[in-house]
Amino acid sequence: MVGHAARRTAAGISLLLGTAAAAPAGAQSPAAPAPATVTRADLAWRYLLMDASYATADSVGRLSDSTRAAINRIFDRSTLSFFGGRFAMTAAMMDTAITMAAPTYRYERRALPVGVRIDKRPAREVRNALIARLAALDSTGTLAQPIASARARAALLVDTVSAERSAEFLTDPAALARAVTAEVGALEKGRNPYARAVGDLWRSYRGANGAAVPMRVIAPKAAASRAVGVLIALHGAGGDENMFAMGYGQGIAARLARENNLLFVSLATTPFMTSAVNFDSLTAVLGREYQLDATRIYVIGHSMGAGAAARLAQERPQALAAVVCLAGGSAVTAAGAPPVLFIGAQLDPVIPAARVKAAAAATPSGTYEERANEGHTLMVRGGVLRGVPWLLQHTRTR
């Protein structure tokens, strides 16, 4: 639930909402109620805590099947409440679920920076100076995309950090200011500062109709000197480009990509639901900045992102080596479509496992697997651990 403004789901989901499910015997209740006004930052930090607590408890075998199922059911109810805009109820249910995985848990709200200063100057002054320098450059030439990225990065420098925008509250303003200053300097000299860049970078690019598409790019050291494959990750509803990079199993997809020398690109999903041109623009941008191995371009998506991943497989079948759809997706019937692994979750109330299985059955290149005792969101960690190695078994014939 790290992300920008919540995406409201179809009216049918609201029928599934209700009061929080009771915790099973022995589970502790949170020590204090959720704050009167719950922000997206509150939900973001809770999600990251839930994700970490569940992963830790699961990895050491501390969760029985019945406890795992109970945690998943409660957490999925919190997800449905979130979709309905009931943030206080969402927070309370998340607290219950987290406590079941980590009994000593107590939520403490993190104070967000106010009156941010960088080298004794208000952050907005640093931002405005950088944007003014960028405005003097030719934004229609070969450096148009990197200029757009630098402008988006500079815009994160604000005096008061928003509790509703994760790209702001997950950013270190001083470090960002230093980095963007160097990037603007490179652009002024006619160089693309993002070409062959390694490490973890929040940025954006211009997609269909010039719309800005936020993304996290995490590049392994190998990307600086040789051809690398690409793992494109598309989050579910209510999330954003940080979900696969930091959440969903504590960023397990990004770690696996780095370990296997893949360029990891986690994007805002919504643009990919409307136009495959956004994929074309993305690969064009990445292709100018890195040496890409076109035989190893993979896509993984969760929920809404699984739908977007299936759509890409349908509309750009020749471009992809393989696709994984987690707790979602649709039939892929295009000629020459890549292999598609659909993974459903046994307890999923949002996109039932039967629906995911049906999509796989209608996909000639599809395979179906199911996560037992798990629900819509917490299944992603296990799905990624299964899905990424599966992706790496496939290459696309040139």
The secondary structure of 351-386, three-state, reads CCHHHHHHHHHCCCCEEEEEECCCCCCCHHHHHHHH
Residue 336 has pLDDT above 80, yes or no: yes
Tens digits of residue pLDDT in 66-105: 999 999 999 999 999 998 999 999 999 999 999 999 999 9
Residue 13 has pLDDT above 60, yes or no: no
How large is the average pLDDT for residues 334-355?
Answer: 97
Alpha-carbon gap, residue 294 to 317, rounded angstroms: 13
Give the max Cα distance, the chain. Answer: 65
Which stretch of 9-18, 56-65, 361-370 has the lowest confidence by average pLDDT?
A: 9-18
Which stretch of 17-31, 54-68, 202-216 has the lowest confidence by average pLDDT?
A: 17-31
Tens digits of residue pLDDT in 158-198: 999 988 888 888 889 999 999 999 999 999 999 999 999 99
Residue in the block written with tokens 């917490």: 378
Residue 9 has pLDDT above 60, yes or no: no
- The set of residues, in sequence order, having a beta carbon less than 8 Å from that of 293 and lying 6+ positions away, is 227, 228, 229, 230
In whole angstroms, how far apart are CA 323 and each of 269, 276, 312, 369? 15, 15, 9, 14
Q: Which residues pair with 292 in a beta bridge?
A: 228
**β-strand 117-118 against 228-234: which pairing, if any?**
unpaired
Alpha-carbon gap, residue 18 to 20, rounded angstroms: 7
How large is the average pLDDT for residues 29-49?
Answer: 74
Q: Within 13 Å and on the Cβ side, how many CA atoms surround 328?
A: 20
Q: Report the pLDDT value the prediction gives residue 364, as an integer from 0 to 100.
A: 98
**16-19 long-range CB contacts below 8 Å, 24 or more apart?**
16/80, 16/349, 17/77, 17/80, 17/81, 17/84, 17/86, 18/77, 19/89
Tens digits of residue pLDDT in 271-313: 999 889 999 999 999 999 999 999 999 999 999 999 999 999 9
**Tokens describing residue 27:** 């589970």
Q: What is the mean pLDDT of the chain?
A: 89
Phi, psi for residue 28 in degrees, rounded to 5: -90, 145
To the nearest whole percent, how much of the chain has pLDDT over 90?
Answer: 79
Q: Report the pLDDT value the prediction gives residue 238, as an integer from 0 to 100.
A: 86
Alpha-carbon gap, residue 289 to 228, rounded angstroms: 12
- Band (36; pLDDT cuts 50, 70, 90): low
Q: Answer yes or no: are the C-beta atoms of 300 and 309 closer than 8 Å.
A: yes
Residue in the block written with tokens 């979709």: 83
Q: Report the pLDDT value the prediction gives residue 26, as an integer from 0 to 100.
A: 35
The pTM of this model reads 0.88
Alpha-carbon gap, residue 340 to 16, rounded angstroms: 30
Pick the CATH number of 197-391 from 1.10.1060.10, 3.40.50.720, 3.40.50.1820, 3.40.50.920: 3.40.50.1820
Q: Report the pLDDT value the prediction gives residue 17, as an integer from 0 to 100.
A: 23
Q: Which sequence spans correspond to the domains of the chain?
A: 11-101, 112-193, 197-391
- Band (1; pLDDT cuts 50, 70, 90): very low
